[in-house]
Structure formats: C-alpha cells, structure tokens
Amino acid sequence: ETGVTQTPRHLVMGMTNKKSLKCEQHLGHNAMYWYKQSAKKPLELMFVYSLEERVENNSVPSRFSPECPNSSHLFLHLHTLQPEDSALYLCASSQGRWSRGGTEAFFGQGTRLTVV
C-alpha cells in the first residue's frame, strides 16, 4: 500500500467507448502524474499536475483527457481509443515543487487497459 489508489485495476473497452481512470492519493502531496507503460517498455510521462494546474503535457493525443479537480484526485478520461493504447496506466504523486530535485514519488498499482 503506497497511499496512491487507482481504479479500476483492469479495464477492457471498445474503440467507441468512453471511460475514465481514477487516481486518489492520501499523502497530502501537491503534484500528480499520469504515465503509460506498454509491454516491455519504459514508462512514458503523459501529464503532470502541480497544485491542480497542468504543468506538463507530453504530446499526448487528444483522445486522452486529464482532469485534476483537487490535489487528491486525478482522472484520465478516455474516448475513441486505439488498440495500440492498450497498456498499463500508472498514477503517481509527490510533494514539493515539481521542478526541483530530490522528489520521491509514490506510485499506484496501475490500471491494465485493453482496447478491443
């Protein structure tokens, strides 16, 4: 238990569906992150929120839409995904100014997404 909870743990969706991934942290952190990890590949940083403001968006397709309503919750809204979007989606949180060194991040267990 890392203090970062992701739901659901597994999700199968069709290419025309709309779904949302949820991340919740109870650590009092002020920065939250979304990562994508495809099979046998490193983590790809998708979005970073600091103090509920998006501070990083790594050229992610618009079919992925993040939302950070407060510092404890982070969502990733999904629509019209492609099969190549199937991956493990990981959420993380950290404390302190996101741009400084010395940041320890805590990760959730991830959502295994399969697009059919």
Partner 1 sequence: LAKTTQPISMDSYEGQEVNITCSHNNIATNDYITWYQQFPSQGPRFIIQGYKTKVTNEVASLFIPADRKSSTLSLPRVSLSDTAVYYCLVGGGKLIFGQGTELSVKP
Contact positions toward partner 1, by CB under 8 A? 2, 4, 31, 33, 35, 42-43, 45, 48, 50, 56, 88, 90-92, 94, 96-110, 112
H/E stretch holding 65: strand 64-70
CB of 55 to partner 1, least distance (A): 9
111-115 and 87-94 strand pairing: antiparallel
- Is the Cβ of residue 76 or residue 91 nearer to partner 1 in the bound state? 91
Tokens 């600091």: give the residue. 50
CB of 61 to partner 1, least distance (A): 19
CB of 109 to partner 1, least distance (A): 6
**One-letter amino acid of 55:** V
> Quick one: DSSP state of residue 33?
E
